[in-house]
Amino acid sequence: MVTMHVPFSAILWVADGVFGPDHAVLAPSDRLLEISDKASRRGLRQAVVSNGEASALEPQLAALPEAETVIGTDDLTRAAEEMGLEPPEILLVSTSSATIHEAARAGFRTFKFSTLALDALDARLPSPRR
Protein backbone atom coordinates (compact mmCIF):
# COMPACT_ATOMS: atom_id res chain seq x y z
CA MET A 1 0.00 0.00 0.00
CA VAL A 2 1.28 3.47 -0.90
CA THR A 3 0.53 6.38 1.40
CA MET A 4 0.28 9.78 -0.23
CA HIS A 5 0.40 12.92 1.89
CA VAL A 6 -1.58 15.76 0.33
CA PRO A 7 -0.11 19.15 1.22
CA PHE A 8 -1.84 21.42 3.70
CA SER A 9 -1.19 25.13 4.20
CA ALA A 10 -1.69 25.60 7.93
CA ILE A 11 -1.48 23.88 11.31
CA LEU A 12 -4.16 24.44 13.95
CA TRP A 13 -2.76 23.43 17.35
CA VAL A 14 -5.53 22.50 19.84
CA ALA A 15 -4.28 24.12 23.03
CA ASP A 16 -6.47 22.09 25.34
CA GLY A 17 -4.59 18.97 24.33
CA VAL A 18 -1.18 19.98 23.07
CA PHE A 19 -0.67 22.59 25.80
CA GLY A 20 -3.21 21.25 28.28
CA PRO A 21 -2.86 19.63 31.70
CA ASP A 22 -0.40 17.00 30.48
CA HIS A 23 1.87 19.57 28.87
CA ALA A 24 3.39 22.74 30.32
CA VAL A 25 1.41 25.74 29.08
CA LEU A 26 4.43 28.00 28.89
CA ALA A 27 6.99 25.46 27.79
CA PRO A 28 6.22 23.29 24.77
CA SER A 29 8.97 20.75 24.24
CA ASP A 30 12.05 21.76 22.29
CA ARG A 31 11.10 19.20 19.64
CA LEU A 32 7.62 20.69 19.25
CA LEU A 33 9.16 24.17 18.89
CA GLU A 34 11.59 22.80 16.30
CA ILE A 35 8.72 21.33 14.28
CA SER A 36 6.75 24.57 14.54
CA ASP A 37 9.78 26.53 13.34
CA LYS A 38 10.35 24.10 10.45
CA ALA A 39 6.67 24.37 9.47
CA SER A 40 6.96 28.15 9.44
CA ARG A 41 10.08 28.03 7.27
CA ARG A 42 8.16 25.80 4.85
CA GLY A 43 5.47 28.44 4.49
CA LEU A 44 2.80 26.95 6.77
CA ARG A 45 0.61 29.29 8.78
CA GLN A 46 -0.04 28.30 12.39
CA ALA A 47 -2.67 29.17 14.98
CA VAL A 48 -3.64 27.93 18.43
CA VAL A 49 -7.30 27.16 19.19
CA SER A 50 -8.86 26.67 22.60
CA ASN A 51 -12.35 26.65 24.04
CA GLY A 52 -11.13 29.16 26.64
CA GLU A 53 -11.01 32.94 26.41
CA ALA A 54 -8.57 33.96 23.68
CA SER A 55 -7.18 36.80 25.83
CA ALA A 56 -6.35 34.33 28.60
CA LEU A 57 -4.36 32.24 26.13
CA GLU A 58 -1.79 34.86 25.14
CA PRO A 59 0.93 33.01 27.13
CA GLN A 60 0.32 29.99 24.88
CA LEU A 61 0.79 32.16 21.82
CA ALA A 62 4.04 33.48 23.28
CA ALA A 63 5.11 29.90 24.00
CA LEU A 64 4.70 28.99 20.33
CA PRO A 65 6.29 31.98 18.57
CA GLU A 66 5.47 30.78 15.05
CA ALA A 67 1.71 30.82 15.74
CA GLU A 68 0.06 33.92 14.38
CA THR A 69 -3.01 34.00 16.61
CA VAL A 70 -4.97 32.37 19.41
CA ILE A 71 -8.57 31.58 18.50
CA GLY A 72 -10.98 31.23 21.41
CA THR A 73 -13.71 28.84 20.29
CA ASP A 74 -14.80 25.23 20.53
CA ASP A 75 -16.18 25.38 16.96
CA LEU A 76 -13.39 24.06 14.74
CA THR A 77 -15.07 25.19 11.52
CA ARG A 78 -15.27 28.73 12.92
CA ALA A 79 -11.57 28.54 13.75
CA ALA A 80 -10.85 27.65 10.10
CA GLU A 81 -12.99 30.60 8.98
CA GLU A 82 -11.02 32.92 11.28
CA MET A 83 -7.84 31.71 9.58
CA GLY A 84 -9.45 32.39 6.19
CA LEU A 85 -9.02 28.75 5.14
CA GLU A 86 -11.17 25.73 4.39
CA PRO A 87 -10.84 22.72 6.76
CA PRO A 88 -9.06 20.51 4.14
CA GLU A 89 -6.26 23.11 3.98
CA ILE A 90 -5.53 22.71 7.70
CA LEU A 91 -3.76 20.00 9.71
CA LEU A 92 -5.45 19.96 13.12
CA VAL A 93 -3.17 18.65 15.89
CA SER A 94 -4.76 17.45 19.14
CA THR A 95 -4.28 14.85 21.88
CA SER A 96 -8.03 14.24 22.07
CA SER A 97 -9.49 11.37 20.04
CA ALA A 98 -12.93 13.02 20.25
CA THR A 99 -11.55 16.28 18.83
CA ILE A 100 -9.70 14.36 16.10
CA HIS A 101 -12.91 12.54 15.09
CA GLU A 102 -14.94 15.78 15.15
CA ALA A 103 -12.29 17.53 13.03
CA ALA A 104 -12.12 14.66 10.53
CA ARG A 105 -15.91 14.76 10.12
CA ALA A 106 -15.63 18.52 9.43
CA GLY A 107 -13.05 17.85 6.69
CA PHE A 108 -9.81 18.75 8.48
CA ARG A 109 -6.63 16.76 8.04
CA THR A 110 -5.79 15.47 11.51
CA PHE A 111 -2.85 14.37 13.60
CA LYS A 112 -3.13 12.74 17.04
CA PHE A 113 -0.44 14.45 19.09
CA SER A 114 1.81 12.70 21.57
CA THR A 115 5.41 13.30 22.51
CA LEU A 116 6.24 9.90 21.00
CA ALA A 117 4.66 10.90 17.67
CA LEU A 118 6.64 14.09 17.09
CA ASP A 119 8.87 12.48 14.45
CA ALA A 120 5.76 11.35 12.56
CA LEU A 121 4.39 14.90 12.73
CA ASP A 122 7.69 16.21 11.38
CA ALA A 123 7.45 13.72 8.50
CA ARG A 124 3.95 15.01 7.60
CA LEU A 125 5.23 18.53 6.91
CA PRO A 126 5.15 19.41 3.21
CA SER A 127 8.42 19.73 1.32
CA PRO A 128 9.98 23.20 1.34
CA ARG A 129 8.28 25.62 -1.02
CA ARG A 130 10.47 27.03 -3.71
Write out pLDDT tens, residues 45-100.
999 887 766 666 666 667 777 888 878 788 899 999 999 999 999 999 988 888 89
Residue 30's pLDDT band (cuts 50, 70, 90): confident
Burial class from Cβ neighbours inside 10 Å (0-12, 13-18, 19+) for residue 67 reads buried
24 pLDDT higher than 50: no
CA dihedral 120, 88, 76, 57 (to 10 degrees): 50
Provide the 10 A C-beta neighbour count for residue 79. Answer: 26
pTM, to two decimals: 0.79
pLDDT at 124 over 60: yes
- What percentage of the chain carries pLDDT values higher than 90? 28
pLDDT band at residue 106 under the 50/70/90 scheme: very high
Instruction: Give me the pLDDT at residue 9, please.
Output: 93
Determine the pLDDT at residue 19.
56
Give the number of other Cβ atoms within 10 Å of residue 81's Cβ.
14
The most confident of the ranges 1-5, 31-35, 125-129 is 31-35
Q: What is the DSSP string of the chain?
A: ----PPP-SEEEEEHHHHSSTTS-TT---HHHHHHHHHHHHTT-EEEEEESS-GGGGHHHHHHSTT---EEE-S-HHHHHHHHT--GGGEEEEES-HHHHHHHHHTT-EEEE--GGGHHHHHHHSPPPP-
Q: Which of 18-22, 40-44, 91-95 has the weakest average pLDDT? A: 18-22
Instruction: Tell me the domains of the chain and their CATH numbers.
Output: 10-124 (3.40.50.1000)
Strands 10-14 and 45-50, by their bridges, are parallel
